[in-house]
Chains A and B, each alone.
Chain A
């Protein structure tokens, strides 16, 4: 009874234990520098989705790797709510942390800077060098504050197009990002089909669920209820730090999963053996959230939090057509869509809706649901599987497109 090869349903290989999240030191892009590009100088302001006009606009951006001679190896990385242009490397040797997606960008990593030219810019509305509510309004000489126009994910992409034009790149080899970055990756591929060869939207959705909007709204209300908010006019004074910290704490709960909270904190007490019987920090999880909230207020502007969360809420890929299937009709990009099983903020069923709409249109779409326990945060942690998939997918895209690698000298 041998050679029953036909009968067995293939046994999946490598079903063993999963690697734990880790950050790799080798393969760093090294020291990097933030750059700036300013455009849309009056009277050529950029028109926004709302109909308002904005200009001048500055985008802060960073690049890693080398652009090849025919400028065909560029990959645009798109950041999420609290991200910025600093996706990889360090500004100085003694920086405590590298860029936010350093585990995927660098020589030999998923976005291999030995092969690709990687770009990441801070979104408009942001507060890390790009024009946002904390920027000076040239018309008044004062910070915009809440007079900054409402922005959308599409507006973020519109601004990025100016940057890509400025860099002389006609067609991006790939656009990619997680969460709100994934929304941008979708918008790029759907609205600018001639400028994108491949799109890798990760842990994202074609429209945020009411549950997601609800969490964003609680964060915004927390900020606006802070006594120091002052209608968004707090620059040069005490900032609404309590409100912003609270918004961030709420956010962090949504990025984790029940499982990952059990693993990370359990019910462990923070620096004590028994309950304090007061309202100071008792549990590790309380300490974590407070720490995340406290550190966030030092690097993030509360008004930017309002504007960007609203942009996330407004995002709906099916508009203006009203049907996702219709909306993605003209898309030409090759897609790799990744979701994470334990992500309840951007759950896999929402990714599958995008997959379905693309598939009905005959778009070349590959979809994988990674069996991670780390919730929405999984796209930042990268347990290794995501990187491998991206590496293989990009290698295939580059090969099909006949991309030449950047000259090594």
Chain B
């Protein structure tokens, strides 16, 4: 799928107001961050663990720190960003709970985009073949995958409820027909991907 056409990016772009301050955790090659900077005029910062990703970000003119988000948001002051984005990264961090609480401390709002492991095709794969789902875009074996913390929409929703996280908005996505927003019911079954807009519950 072409970079410019990623539906999850479009959804996140719509969620973030122009001119805000945004931190993208696990920004990869910067393909989302560069859209935020160019199309929404945000002040964008990225954190990326791989040297290749950092180099690609620099080539796009982005401001990025090479670092491990499992190690270090603690250096960032509270509320120093309007939005902290964690897109397609949650499943790859060692401590998702720590990263989530840190992102909602550093950011006034958080946006988490993740693959829904309870998507019906995943269930079908596991049911039919009895093996960990493996696809063209998920080519890893169980023993070498960077994706170590898959969860479902239900799991994540429950996590938020238990941990004082307010879900302000959810958008469920499917890659069918080039990618679209799902409007129907039972997202835990039909959503391939989910985007949550979060904030820390005011105490």
Contacts and interface: CB of A to CB of B under 8 A. Distances in A.
Nearest to B191: A6
By size class, the interface of chain A is 35 or more
A393 interface: yes
Contact of B135 (A7, A362, A393): A7
A195 B57 CA distance: 27
B66 A368 contact: yes
Nearest to B147: A9
B76 interface: yes
A403 interface: no
Nearest to A395: B61
A10 interface: yes
B55 A1 contact: no
Interface string B1-19: 1000010100000000000
Interface in B86-143: 88-89, 91-92, 113, 115, 121, 125, 133, 135-140
Contacts of A13: 29, 52, 56
A392 B61 CA distance: 7
A214 interface: no
A162 interface: no
A4 B51 contact: no
A366 B63 contact: yes
B51 A1 contact: no
B187 interface: no
A285 interface: no
A351 to B, nearest CB: 10
Contact of A365 (B55, B63, B77, B139): B63
A7 B173 CA distance: 12
A359 B51 contact: no
Contact of A396 (B29, B61, B113, B175): B61
B79 to A, nearest CB: 13
A367 B175 contact: no
B58 A366 contact: yes
Contact of B175 (A4, A12, A14, A355): A4
A210 to B, nearest CB: 24
B192 interface: yes
B137 A3 contact: yes
Residue among A9, A336, A388 facing the most chain B CB atoms (10 A cut-off): A9
A218 B60 CA distance: 45
Contacts of B136: 1-2, 4
B146 interface: yes
Interface in A54-76: none
A41 interface: no
Contact of A1 (B6, B125, B146): B125
A336 B55 CA distance: 11
- Quick one: which of B28, B137, B147, B175 has the most chain A CB within 10 A? B137
A389 B55 contact: yes
A6 B76 CA distance: 28
A368 B59 contact: no
B152 interface: no
A370 interface: yes
B52 A6 contact: no
B55 A369 contact: no
Contact of B137 (A7, A12, A385, A399): A7
Interface string A347-376: 000001001100110101111111100000
Given A359-B75, A364-B63, A385-B55, A2 B92 contact: no
Contacts of A334: 63
A370 B51 CA distance: 7
Contact of A392 (B58, B113, B146): B58
Contacts of B50: 12
A6 B115 contact: yes
Contact of B28 (A4, A7, A10): A10
Interface in A152-208: none
A5 B57 CA distance: 20
Contacts of A368: 51, 54-55, 58, 66
Contacts of B59: 388, 392
A2 to B, nearest CB: 6
A367 B137 contact: no
A19 interface: no
B199 interface: no
A48 to B, nearest CB: 35
A202 to B, nearest CB: 14
Contacts of B28: 10, 12
Contacts of A388: 55, 59
Contacts of A139: none
Contacts of A367: 54, 64-67
Contacts of B77: 360
Interface of A: 1-10, 12-15, 334, 336, 352, 355-356, 359-360, 362, 364-371, 385, 388-389, 392-393, 395-396, 399
21 contacts: A2-B135, A4-B135, A4-B138, A5-B137, A6-B192, A6-B193, A7-B88, A7-B135, A7-B138, A10-B28, A13-B56, A359-B76, A364-B63, A365-B63, A366-B65, A367-B67, A368-B54, A388-B59, A389-B55, A395-B61, A399-B61
Given A1-B125, A7-B88, A392-B61, 17 more contacts: A1-B133, A1-B136, A3-B1, A4-B138, A5-B1, A6-B88, A6-B173, A7-B115, A7-B137, A7-B147, A8-B147, A10-B88, A12-B28, A12-B52, A13-B56, A366-B57, A389-B55
Closest A-B pairs by Cβ, 7 of them: A4-B137, A6-B193, A396-B61, A12-B52, A7-B115, A3-B175, A4-B135
